[in-house]
């Protein structure tokens, strides 16, 4: 299985296959399992549908590693339109998730800083929240630095947050720093390929660290997100919360669009907060491939469904 994971992660970076897939109608049909649509109207519709089931959302306009400043600004424009749409639907409890490499981080960190600062300011005005996703470890420190800087600006407190990956050795220390600042964190296992000197290579160690870090978050007094589809991680979280008498509404579980919908609904029925990460847009290929890397059986599942249509 680790070989298949690496193969799908390598494919996620294949430019030719990406161009071909994103333009083909077969590609669109495949991606619809994990991607809510190609347009802003479609993603808002998906968020409204989730809201009907008492599920909140975080909206993600797909794209990463842009190659020109214009592309970065176009990506930001889509987010500004999303924030406008969210502002007119305050009941929907939606926010946005962004990636720094989509905002020009590889081209010019100053440009990314300016763009993200603008989005956070808009998030404050729209009374919502901007989550900065975490990408590969080459971006970890820069992402933390930017989010801490933006969070410290008067008025931004509580409107910008970050993601921490349980597979990285450094995460416990990072959580300490970020919670000291009062920053909201989404904890996930981590979806990129990392070297063994930076990240736990074994799943069992990632899982053990996830449980430990989740407990660190749940006792911090800040509203965090526990992002996983792993029933063991969820059971450990539920047990910890019960044993410590922690208010189940003082944090949220988070899952990805289209994955374990049964579990999403049952946690809501049990009284937990649930937020779904809802991606949309034409640049779905790297995101889609990372989902196959997490569970190569998805490739078979999708192929079977396509054959049935």
Q: Which residues bind ligand FDA (CB under 6 A)?
A: 133-134, 163, 165, 186, 188-192, 227-230, 254-256, 259-260, 277, 291, 294-295, 298
Q: Which CB, 28 or 33, lies closer to ligand FDA?
A: 33
Q: Which CB, 70 or 303, lies closer to ligand FDA?
A: 303
Residue 5 C-beta: closest distance to ligand FDA, Å: 9
Residue 176 C-beta: closest distance to ligand FDA, Å: 20
Residues 6+ apart with CB under 8 A from 218: 224, 226, 237, 240, 241, 244, 246, 250, 251
3-class SS at 37? Answer: coil
Rounded Cα–Cα distance for residues 164 and 171 (Å): 6
Rounded Cα–Cα distance for residues 119 and 40 (Å): 17
Name the catalytic one among 18, 186, 275, 291. 186
Q: Which CB, 31 or 298, lies closer to ligand FDA?
A: 298
Considering only CA atoms, which of 207, 173, 205, 204 is closest in space to residue 188? 207
Q: Please say if 186 is a catalytic residue.
A: yes
Residue 1 C-beta: closest distance to ligand FDA, Å: 11
Enclosing H/E stretch for 295: none
Residue 251 C-beta: closest distance to ligand FDA, Å: 13
Instruction: Tell me which DSSP letter residue 157 carries.
Output: T
Rounded Cα–Cα distance for residues 150 and 159 (Å): 9
Considering only CA atoms, which of 290, 307, 302, 301 is closest in space to residue 8? 290
Name the catalytic one among 133, 174, 184, 290. 133
Q: Which CB, 27 or 286, lies closer to ligand FDA?
A: 286
Q: Please say if 133 is a catalytic residue.
A: yes
Tell me the catalytic residues: 133, 186
């Amino acid at each position: 299985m680790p070989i298949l994971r690496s193969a799908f992660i390598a494919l996620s970076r294949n430019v030719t296959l990406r161009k071909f897939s994103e333009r083909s109608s077969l590609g669109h049909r495949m991606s619809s399992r994990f991607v809510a649509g190609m347009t802003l109207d479609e993603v808002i519709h998906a968020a409204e549908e989730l809201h009907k089931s008492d599920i909140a959302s975080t909206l993600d306009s797909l794209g990463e590693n842009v190659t020109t400043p214009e592309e970065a600004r176009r990506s930001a424009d889509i987010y500004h339109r999303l924030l406008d749409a969210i502002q007119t639907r305050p009941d929907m409890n939606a926010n946005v998730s962004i990636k720094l490499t989509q905002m020009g981080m590889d081209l010019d960190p100053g440009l990314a800083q300016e763009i993200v600062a603008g989005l956070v300011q808009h998030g404050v005005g729209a009374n919502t929240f901007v989550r900065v996703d975490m990408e590969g470890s080459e971006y970890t420190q820069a992402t933390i630095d930017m989010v801490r800087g933006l969070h410290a600006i008067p008025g931004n407190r509580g409107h910008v947050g970050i993601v921490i990956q349980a597979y990285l050795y450094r995460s416990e220390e990072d959580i300490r720093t970020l919670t000291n600042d009062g920053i909201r964190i989404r904890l996930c296992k981590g979806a990129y390929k990392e070297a063994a000197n930076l990240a736990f290579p074994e799943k069992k160690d990632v899982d053990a660290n996830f449980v430990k870090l989740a407990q660190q978050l749940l006792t911090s007094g800040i509203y965090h997100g526990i992002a996983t589809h792993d029933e063991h991680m969820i059971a450990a979280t539920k047990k910890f919360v019960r044993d410590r008498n922690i208010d189940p509404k003082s944090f949220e579980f988070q899952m990805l669009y289209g994955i374990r919908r049964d579990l999403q609904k049952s946690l809501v029925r049990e009284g937990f907060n649930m937020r779904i990460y809802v991606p949309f847009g034409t640049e779905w290929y790297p995101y889609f491939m990372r989902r196959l890397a997490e569970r190569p059986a998805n490739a078979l599942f999708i192929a079977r469904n396509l054959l049935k249509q």
